Amino acid sequence: MIAVAAMYKPQRNFWLLVILMLVGALVGDALGAVLIPFLPVLKPFTSVGFAPATLDLHFARLTFGFTLTLGPLTALGLLLGYLLYRKL
């Protein structure tokens, strides 16, 4: 019985990881925005994503796009969100 319990790993929730990393990135980005005037080295260093594309069906218009702007504090927030997930 003890051997079976030791082999069982609890299922981790994927959405919890996404939420923790998103919150970490948002906090890191907000902190970076506040500190950039004092520490210019904290400026975002890369931006990746898809340019906005629009689908016009005459009765509805859909716009798709995604951009991720990564700075040092945003990356640190993502990392801290992941580490917090690992501790849970």
| Domain encompassing residue 20 | 14-87
Whether 6 is covered by a domain: the verdict is: no
Residue 73: CB atoms within 10 A of its CB come to 23
Whether 8 is covered by a domain: the verdict is: no
Whether 9 is covered by a domain: the verdict is: no
Whether 3 is covered by a domain: the verdict is: no
Whether 7 is covered by a domain: the verdict is: no
Query: For residues 71 and 29, is the Cβ–Cβ distance under 8 A?
Result: yes
Q: Average the pLDDT over 18-22 and give the result.
A: 93
In whole angstroms, what is the distance from residue 32 CA to residue 11 CA? 34
pLDDT digits (tens, 9 = 90+) for 55-68: 999 899 999 998 88
Residue 8 has pLDDT above 60, yes or no: no
In whole angstroms, what is the distance from residue 43 CA to residue 23 CA? 19
The pLDDT value recorded for residue 41 is 85
More confident residue, 75 or 8: 75
Whether 4 is covered by a domain: the verdict is: no
Give which of 20, 25, 7 is closest to 81, Cα–Cα: 20
Whether 5 is covered by a domain: the verdict is: no
pLDDT digits (tens, 9 = 90+) for 25-53: 999 999 988 998 998 888 888 888 888 89
Looking at the structure of the chain, the number of domains it has is 1
